[in-house]
Copies of this chain bind each other. A is one copy, B any other.
Amino acid sequence: MVKWIYQKPGGTKTMTVTIKDVAKEAKLAVSTISKYMNGGKVRPKNEQIIKEVVERLGYRPNNFARGLRNSRSYTIALLTPNMEGEHSARMISSLEDQVKKMGCFLNICCYQDSIEHIKSYVEYLTEKNVDGIIVSPIKTTEDYLEPARRAGIPIVILEDTYGIENCDVLQVDCASASYQIVEHLIQQGHRKIAVIKGTEGMTTSRERLNGYLRVMEDYGYPVKEEFLIDGDYDYRSGYEGVMKLWQLGERPTALFVTNYHMSVGALVAINRLHIRVPEELSVVVFDDMTLSTIVRPRLTAVHQPLEELMEKACELIEKRMNGDFEGFPGKWRLKARIVYRDSVGKPQTESKRLESA
């Protein structure tokens, strides 16, 4: 009957205190205790007694037993490929708040860009009966989300679906944000605008590039092939992108870097080459992080609505959880906003400095 679960360092033994123990000690029925524990009404006198006993015995309801009955875990899971960069940090921070508001906990699962990992995580989370899954997907044709879908767990996909169907998806409208920020450059008088592209094949990189391409087209300015620099959303390509650009016979007067990591790299290169911003080069970047404000000049940037994104994700999960499938499966696109700072100026007529370090 008594279950010794743990040999404490000191040598004393501990046993789990169950709802039965509390009932016995309080001289009440198990069901009464249960009711009280779930916020039900009990006689004030009994409430006192129970409270005292629970406290004294240090009783905590067993989560497994509880889950076994009502199959809820009060947990929302986030499936993310990695934890790099402020982007993840900001997302998690917002999500944390939202999830707390739902009375749930957040279970962050980092699948390390591995298909194997994400598959086993989905199975794990399904077995755990999490209340919902928010996923930043990996590129694969496998439908790794199937177990969760079958178990009826609400799923929200962020950004790229890579072909996965039958899930709600949430995106940031990168195309229009890129359009706007490049348009800002144009309105300042820039024509020679370079762009460092994102990873080939990703929806976000395509959209961000498209935004650029479309303004140029709409304003009727030609796009120079050499100003379209390949990138892969990583530091190094930002660094090298600027290096390449500065070796060009005709240099651009403005640069649009399409994500945060690359903009760090680009800045390092810019400083290294002693390029003066915005005199010689105006710079705008996608993603607005701490760095944007600590760097001089501060960066004009696209600020992604990560808070709204997470809010909407939780809202959707709650809705689906409650059996409301209005608009399922749906796609929502949230607008980003541009934060104007000091890294954009008018182009100078002759700004080429030949003696750049």
Chain A residues with CB under 8 Å of chain B are 5-9, 14, 16, 58, 60-68, 71, 82-86, 88-89, 92-93, 96, 100, 105-110, 112, 117, 121, 123-124, 126-129, 147, 150-152, 166, 235-236, 239, 264-265, 267-268, 271-272, 274, 290-291, 294-296, 323, 325, 328-329
Bound Cα distance from A108 to B328, whole angstroms: 30
Inter-chain contact A62/B68, CB cutoff 8 Å: yes
Query: Known: A108-B108, A126-B60. Contact between A268 and B294, CB under 8 A?
Result: yes
Which of B66, B83, B264 contacts A83 (CB under 8 A)? B83
Distance (whole angstroms) from the CB of A217 to the closest CB of chain B: 34
The answer to whether B109 touches A105 (Cβ under 8 A) is yes
A60 and B271 form a contact (CB under 8 A): no
Task: Note all chain B residues with C-beta closer than 8 A to A272.
Answer: 271, 296
A268's closest neighbor in chain B, by CB? B295
Beta-carbon contact of A268 and B265 below 8 Å:
no
Residue of B nearest to A113 (CB): B93
Q: Is the CB of B105 within 8 A of A108?
A: no
A236–B292 Cα distance when bound, in Å, is: 11
Instruction: State which of B5, B294, B329 has its C-beta within 8 Å of the C-beta of A235.
Output: B294
**Identity of the chain B residue whose Cβ is nearest the Cβ of A95 in the assembled complex:** B110
Choose one: B63, B88, B329; the contact of A127 (CB below 8 Å). Answer: B63
Contact partner of A64 among B64, B236, B264, B328, CB < 8 A? B64
A96–B110 contact, CB under 8 A? yes
Contacting residues, chain B, for A62 (C-beta < 8 A): 68, 127, 129
CA distance A92 to B110 in the complex (A): 8
A60 touches B123 (CB 8 A): yes
B63 touches A128 (CB 8 A): yes
Tell me the bound Cα distance from A5 to B88 in angstroms: 33
For the complex, give the distance between the alpha carbons of A235 and B272 in Å. Answer: 19
Chain B residues, CB < 8 A from A14? 150-152
- Please determine whether B83 and A89 come into contact, CB atoms closer than 8 angstroms: yes
Question: Would you call A127 and B71 a contact (CB within 8 A)?
Answer: no
A264 near B291 with CB under 8 A, answer: yes
**Docked pose: A294 CA to B241 CA in angstroms:** 13
Contact sample, A vs B, 5 pairs, CB 8 Å cutoff: A7-B323, A8-B152, A83-B92, A96-B117, A105-B121
A310 vs chain B, min Cβ distance (A): 13
Given contacts A9-B166, A14-B152, 13 further A-B contacts (CB under 8 A): A6-B151, A6-B323, A9-B325, A61-B127, A63-B127, A64-B67, A82-B89, A83-B89, A84-B89, A85-B89, A236-B294, A268-B271, A274-B274
Given the complex of chains A and B, what is the CA–CA distance between A124 and B105 in angstroms?
8
Contact B68 A68 (CB under 8 A): yes
CA distance A14 to B58 in the complex (A): 39
Would you give the shortest CB distance from A49 to chain B, in whole angstroms?
Answer: 22
Known: A83-B88, A105-B124, A264-B291. A150 touches B58 (CB 8 A): yes
What are the nearest 9 A-B pairs in CB distance? A271-B271, A6-B152, A64-B67, A108-B108, A64-B68, A83-B89, A63-B127, A7-B323, A9-B325
